[in-house]
Amino acid sequence: MNSSDNSSADEASSNQEASSSSKEKPDLEDDMKRAAAKKLIERFFYQLTEGCGNPNCNNTNCASSGKLNPMTPNDAAGYALKLIKSQDAKLCEMHPNKIARINLDTTQSEKSNNIQDLDPSLLPSNDNAISECSTGKCNMKYNSAPVPTYLTEQALFEIIDECESSESYSPLIRTLGEIFSSIENLSRSFIQEPFSPSTSPSTKNPESDKIQYLNKEQLRHLEGEKDKDEDSCADSGSSTVLPVDLPAVRRAYAALFKLKTSIFENSLVNALVTLAGNLQMELPTRKEKDNHDDIINVLLIVFEIPALGSGDFLETALPAICRAAQWLPVEVQATLARMWSGPGRSAIRNILENLQQLITLRVIVTPFHRDFFIQDENVITSATKLMKILYYANMLAGVLESPSLRTMDEISDSMDESFLAVKLNKTIEPEDALAKVLGIHILDCRKPYLPYTEFYNEPLSDMVEMDRDFANFKSELGLFSGKFSFMNYPFILTPATKTMGLYFDNRIRMYSERRISILQAVTGQPSNPYLRLKVRRENIIEDALVELEMISMENPNDLKKQLVVEFEGEQGIDEGGVSKEFFQLVIEEIFNPDYAMFTMQNETRTVWFNPTSFETTAQFTLIGIVLGLAIYNNIILAVNFPMVLYRKLMGRKGSFEDLFDWNPILYNSLKQMLEYSEPDLEETFMQTFRISYQDVFGTIINYDLKEKGDRIPVTQENKYEFVDMYADFLLNESVEKQFRAFYKGFQMVVDESPLEQLFRPEEIELLICGSKNFDFDELENSTEYDGGYSNDTQVIKDFWSVVHAFSLEDKRKLLQFTTGSDRVPIGGLSKLKLVIAKNGPDSDRLPTAHTCFNVLLLPEYSSKDKLKDRLVKAINYSKGFGML
């Protein structure tokens, strides 16, 4: 029998060599068939030696049937080679955790060439063997069922049942250690049923066991070859097919973690650390085009572990996995994002919470110092990089809109040459490689799966030193030396922290312009290191717009200098407070209905461009400059634009969903039309493709969305087209001239700023308008005292008692009086850093303020009533700047 087996094996081997030598490049399908043959040999080997575990098995080629004489591993290997050629050979459904225990007692002399003909990976592992030494002689013997080379849900259930019945958890511990420490073993575990290594086609059709009947799709999953079909990586996460059976993984983990964690935690944690080490060694050696399906499977399974964010998993295993994951090629990151955004989307929250806990823990326990900053902590940075994959998965899993709504190229094409000259000098920020591969932009996501705010990490945001982070972000040396910057991962930073990054960028540009002016002065050229505006309070709009227009025409770069405002006839020196009042007064005048440049939506109290405005486009350009200057000079404005404006400023057209906060009544009526499913829509709504709107004078204006639109009724077939065209007209087409001029002025100031890279539209609204949370408890807790005052001083207690009793309007007036703005800064009132200083003993003088420095000068009034009287008069009747 051995002789014939050897000759058969030699014949097969010689045939293979002849076949391969006939081609310089062996056919991929032939290679895959050989790989599949190895898998079949392995399965036949275990079936012959250990059986399938089914006590009722009637397969004569299975040890469990009782019809097969016991075989040595040598004989079984040779017989397995013979069976794969047989037309009648049958494979059983394998149950590796129910295989009967066997004794293995072989010597070196019993081994034949049959074993050498097999791949070493096909031989049974001796990991389960123990050495029993007595009288100086050691015999190898299996003391338990062999550890499976992959894991299934049912297999884990049965191992747990066996361990509980025997009250010995060694098999479970060994299995977890063997599976979770190996990339190969874990990647083959919990595979979807059609692709499961344990499910052979023979279980349904015996004829399909033959190698010649294995098709390419089956071979691809047996061998792990990557077949890059177009439908294997869908753009939409919902159509992505997961290779891993995640519901089965979750059920398996649920059963595992019903046990006491102490039973298996050390084994699983150590296995994961080993796995991470293997990943760290493996990933850098792989090329971008190499197959990474096994890595994807491994990460999908590992990040389903429910306890990954607690105990030793959090302190040891998860950091190791994060450090390994930072080596993932961008294509693999994209695939992982698609997997998590599709059928795996329910895991997004749990994975995010685990990563947030890890980052927070490291921020709290790590002793950072002048030579070791938070950007140097590898666990924090690697977890942040991994969170970026989750961030894009969260967008893909949400509600997406068409990329065709992006309008940056269209807007740029319409600008005049002078503006394009400014844009050409702009420092182009590097494109996000992962976003490019995924074909997605932050503006494409109308509603993410989880709110973006859940990605903020406040402890990290409070700890990060933005001056250093900004240096890493901008430094060419930093880019090439791999210095990490959280500004490249802005989703994890709170808006208040990102504002500091924007502040550093703006200030550095201001100082750069100032140095250029000084150099010009040295060479005898006229220079002005500041953007100086001298205006009359009674003619503030005319004066401001005339000066800004001249500057924008002569040298737009002057707009990037630090703004200094002077009110004619007033003695105030602008250290920030004068500019704040200037902007407030300009905004009040610009949105005055008398100018008719903007219209007011009565329901939402938001303002929008007047499509029938008589003002020139230059006026809208200058308003855009004012808005850009406010951001550039870190000043909050009292404007109330709908969210669609900020989306348009970032390069996204308005669409139907934007009508919700622009005109809710119109939005709801159109939505009612879209949701109406009866065939009598035409008679019910009586709407055509002619629409009507009202100008500022109350005149009704008709407009045809299509030619002869009044003759085209809206029906079930064209209602979506009507709604899209209606929204496009109102938000884009009708105000195209006004918005493009406004956008041009805005970009003249912020074109080189990382504004768009750091902030989302809703965050830009916060940046411009401030927070809407008037929490004066925050202000009280953050206020500092000077000149002899403290929080225990009676006049201070009386002051806060009076302030907390103010109406919201009076609170706004107090903020205006003390800081120069009635808006709450991004991050809340605690960011104001108000200072209350003693201004002498009791007197009849009113309180005064240094708005540039947020300082309130408060006399020590003798009573609470007197304090309230003087304070109310001060905040209601004090305007202008004089010498204090």
Is 852 an annotated catalytic residue? yes
Q: Which residues have C-beta within 8 Å of that of residue 174, sequence separation ≥ 6? A: 127, 128, 144, 147
Whether 201 and 195 have beta carbons less than 8 Å apart is answered as no
In the block, tokens 């293979």 appear at: 16
The alpha-carbon radius of gyration of the chain (Å, integer) is 36
Report the alpha-carbon distance of residue 683 to residue 662 in Å, rounded.
28
Burial letters for 580-592: b for 16+ Cβ neighbours within 10 Å, e otherwise? bbbbbbbbeebbe
| 551: helix, strand or coil | helix
Sign for the pseudo-dihedral over CA of 368, 369, 375, 376 = negative
Long-range contacts for 257-264 (Cβ within 8 Å, ≥24 apart)? 257/306, 257/307, 259/160, 259/169, 261/307, 261/311, 263/169, 263/172, 263/173, 264/169, 264/172, 264/173, 264/176
Q: Report the distance separating Cα 140 and Cα 133, nearest Å.
A: 9
Residue 100 CA, chain-centre distance (Å), reads 49
> Are residues 454 and 357 in contact, defined by beta-carbon separation less than 8 angstroms?
no
Distances (CA, A) of 867 to 804, 807, 810, 812: 14, 17, 15, 18
Which residues lie closer than 8 Å to 861 by C-beta, 6 or more apart?
795, 798, 842, 867, 870
As a whole number of angstroms, the distance between CA 185 and CA 180 comes to 7
Give the amino acid at 716.
Q
Cross-strand pairs, 366: none
d(CA 224, CA 536): 76
Are the C-beta atoms of residues 298 and 186 closer than 8 Å to each other? yes
Q: Rounded CA gap, 274 and 345, in Å? A: 27
Task: Give the count of alpha carbons within 13 A of 176, CB side only.
Answer: 25
Cβ-contact 294, 332 below 8 angstroms: no
What type of residue is 301? Answer: I
SS3 readout for 755-793: HHHHCCHHHHHHHHHCECCCCHHHHHHHCEEECCCCCCC
CB of 540 within 8 A of CB of 586? yes
Q: Cα separation of 746 and 736, whole Å?
A: 15
> CA-to-CA distance for 650 and 644, rounded, in angstroms?
10
**CA 559, 560, 561, 562 torsion: positive or negative?**
positive
User: Is the Cβ–Cβ distance between 386 and 326 less than 8 Å?
Assistant: yes
| CA dist list (Å): 847 to 185, 794, 880, 881 | 75, 16, 15, 14
Return d(Cα 831, Cα 809) in angstroms, integer.
Answer: 20
How far is residue 370 CA from its own chain's centroid?
30
Q: Are 112 and 1 in contact (CB under 8 A)?
A: no
Is residue 381 within 8 Å of residue 484, measured between CB atoms? yes
Residues in a beta bridge with 601: 606
DSSP 828-881: -GGGS--EEEE-SSS-SPPPEEETTTTEEEE---SSHHHHHHHHHHHHHH--S-
Q: Is 522 left (phi over 0), alpha (psi -120 to 50) or beta?
A: alpha
By annotation, the residues acting in catalysis are 852
